[in-house]
Structure 1
Amino acid sequence: MNELTRRHFVGAAAGFAGAAAIGSLGAAPASAAPRRTDWAGSRSANGWEILPEAKSYRIEGSDQSVHLAGGTAATLLLYVARRFHYEIDQLRDGDVRGHRTSRRVQDPHESNYLSGTALEIRPQAYPLGAKDGFYPRELVVVRDILAELDGAVVWGGDFATPKESHFEVAHKPGHPKVKGVARKIDGWNSGPGNEGAGATDAFDPARRRRATSFARRMAS
């Protein structure tokens, strides 16, 4: 079975045509990637301070790590990476990239890597300007993650120029939503382990409805 046939079979057999439609909510047609430019200034596009270096954090459940800004940014983005590892596919060497120091960017959102407030998962598989890289079943998980984080993190698949490997903190430092969602995740991390990454079912009907509603609200 070739890759095209496999993609069609997985989508059809699993019955996730609706998830594919949800996955494209808010995303404009892919356009040619813009030319690279040097990012100027002391802050990234989402308002966080650009860092000369960032701490390395291990991604729970895997043997991978990623460099991120500390505090709430790390809490949010590590949660995304953990759920990807647990529910979409195992993370391998080279799959995850976070903070970097090169100011060369193709799109403003890439400046958020400079502040350690964004990460990309498998950028070679989901490059800037490409769409529909995830299977419908995988999109269900992505949408559930975004709904659970309540807009504190946004996904590059919803950008006008999509980058489906990209996840970033959506608000400036100290924003109530960023602090509130990070506090919720910290509670899960210190609790009995029956909530959060590794303990969720993205395909639960109630969660599916919530994720669909959230995606439509964010796209409007």
Structure 2
Amino acid sequence: MTTTRRVFLRSAAGAALAVGVGATLAPPAVAAPAVDNPTSPSRSHMAKVEAAAAKVQPGTRSPNGWLVNTAANKGGSVWTRPVAGTGFGVDVAIGDAETVLVHVIRRFHYEIDTLRPGDVVGFRPPGSIKHGDYEQNHASGTAVDIRPGSYPRGVKGGFLPYQLAVVRDILAECDGVVRWGGDFSVPDESHFQIATAPDDPRLHALVKKLRAWNATPGAGAGVIRDPRDKKRSAAAEKLKRAQT
């Protein structure tokens, strides 16, 4: 299938924006397109990609170290990505953050309760965020709120015991890369966020694991786990102590 220009620009934008904490946004070195490969990115195309990104990325970072965007689907690092098996998409940072957050949403959908369009809030523009703390991570597309109306900020105990066990199991499966708002001093049980910087080895290891699962029938989200399994529950409890 021929890659569309839209998908190409998204992929190129993701590559141009894969920078670590503290790094400045700099043009990537791009070789001149080969004569026999008309799909190679040209310097003019990359210049357009970088110009589009600059319009929506002021250069600031969210508390977890990811680049803040002012809009989604406008050339930056945040795009609407499909959540397989749900019938809807979510605005998140493409690449590693996308892989992790979509996994969290899918497990919630399959194992806690069926989600519908509008149930998950991802990216939020900086100016729309009421609280200047962890909620700023929405502005980089590295946090999602699942049914925020059902689990409002400041309220604890919204999950049934088995549902809470699944939440803990999801967190343990993500090896500490994801934090849950239910563990915050002011609880926000709808909130899940990337807890590491973009260059953290734990993030890269988790993404590698999840992508392997996604490519393997009978693995990944959709395969029901038993959070009461002794090994899994022990891992969940250990992480809970570490994150709270």
After TM superposition, the score normalised by the length of structure 1 is 0.77
1:77–1:119 CA contact under 8 A, matched in 2:
yes
- Structure 2 distance, partners of 1:142, 1:152, is 14
In 2, the alpha carbon distance for the partners of 1:41 and 1:164 equals: 30
Determine the C-alpha separation between the residues in 2 that align with 1:71 and 1:108: 24
Change (3 A) 1:194 1:204: farther
Are 2:119 and 1:101 equivalent residues in the alignment? no
1:44 aligns with 2:69: no
The structural deviation recorded for 1:94 is 1.4
RMSD of the alignment, in Å? 1.6
Contact 2:63–2:137 (8 Å) recurs in 1: yes
Deviates more, 1:54-63 or 1:87-96: 54-63
Work out which of the residue numbers 65, 82, 88 in structure 2 matches 1:58.
82
Structure 1 residue 107, shift from structure 2 partner? 4.3
Give the Å deviation of 1:41: 7.3
Deviations 1:97-150 (A, max 9, x none): 101214233241110110000000000111111111111110000000000001
Q: Hey, what's the Cα distance between the residues in 2 that align with 1:218 and 1:166?
A: 14
- 1:181 equivalent to 2:206? Answer yes
Q: In structure 2, which of residues 91, 99, 104 is the aligned counterpart of residue 80 of structure 1? A: 104
Please show how residues 158-169 of structure 1 align to structure 2 within 5 Å.
158-169=183-194
Write out per-residue CA displacement over residues 179-211 of structure 1, whole angstroms, 9 at most, x where no aligned residue: 1111110110112x2222111412333212221
Task: State the shift of 1:56 in Å.
Answer: 0.9
Matched residue, 1:37: none
* 1:99–1:116 contact (8 Å) kept in structure 2: yes
Tell me the CA shift for residue 216 of structure 1. Answer: 2.2
The corresponding residue for 1:131 is 156
Q: Which has the higher contact order (CA 8 A, sep 6+)?
A: 1
1:174 CA drift (Å): 1.1
Query: Counterparts of 1:176 and 1:89 in 2: how far apart (Å)?
Result: 32
Matching residue of 1:195: 219
Tell me the distance in 2 between the aligned counterparts of 1:161 and 1:218: 14
Matched residue SS, 1:114: helix
SS of corresponding position for 2:108? helix
Counterpart contact for 1:83–1:198, Cα < 8 Å: yes
2:24 aligned residue: none
TM-score w.r.t. structure 2 length? 0.70
Q: Which runs of 5+ in 1 are unaligned?
A: 1-39
Taking the aligned partners of 1:87 and 1:161, their CA distance within structure 2 comes to 26
CA contact (8 A) 1:64 1:91 kept: no
Q: Which residue of 2 aligns with 1:171?
A: 196
